[in-house]
Amino acid sequence: MGLFGMAISYIAFSVLHFLQFVLALTVCGLYGIDLQRANANDVGADSKWVFAQVVAALSAVTALLYFIPFVLRLAFTFIWNFILFILWIALFGVFGKMYINEDPEGDDDIQRMKNAVWVDLVNALLWLVGGLASLAYWWRHRERRTRFTGRATV
């Protein structure tokens, strides 16, 4: 059934994409602070932080596009979800290596980056879940034909 005539799967995907969008914007804010500070001090932006912003921006735009119902019905959206998962895991690896074992010792910037690392991991897991769910949805709703002649729809 669903809510207001929407299928339960569409509502579940919408909640998932909303969470992905919110966390992508969170990452933009967490890493953007350092990029803004570098810009204010006339220091070049570090490529690691720029990579974080690009991944977060791609994720936010993708999550917004996924709110359009027909976009979810495209055949291979799960491939893009898995690409975003790989990008988030790479981001988690880069910043995890830098900050997970770091002791903040009262430094709010290091504590913020330690928190950002875990937000990166949650983002990666959400994109993995989204990719697996999209693959399952596509597999379940693909057009099926008979094995021998291929003419009849099963």
Can you give the pLDDT at residue 41? 86
- Which amino acid is present at 151? R
Convert the pLDDT of each residue in 115-154 to its tens digit. Answer: 999 999 999 999 999 999 988 888 877 666 656 666 666 5
Domain annotation covers residue 135: yes
Question: What pLDDT sits at residue 140?
Answer: 78
- Any idea of the CA torsion for 78, 79, 84, 87, to the nearest 10 degrees? 150
Is 53 inside any structural domain? yes
Tell the residue number behind the tokens 């027909």, with chain if given: 70
- For 47, the domain range is 8-141
Model confidence, pTM: 0.85
Q: For residue range 61-119, list pLDDT tens digits in order.
A: 999 999 887 787 777 889 999 999 999 999 999 999 999 988 888 888 899 999 999 99
How would residue 15 be classed by pLDDT, with cut points 50, 70 and 90?
very high
CB 28 within 8 A of CB 58: no
CB 134 within 8 Å of CB 78? yes
For residue 64, being part of any structural domain is answered with yes
Report the distance separating Cα 148 and Cα 73, nearest Å.
27
* 2 lies in some domain: no
Asked if residue 3 belongs to a domain, the reply is no
The whole-number average pLDDT for the span 32-42 is 87
Q: Give me the number of domains the chain comprises.
A: 1
Classify residue 152: in a domain, yes or no.
Answer: no
Backbone angles phi, psi at 77, to 5 degrees: -65, -25
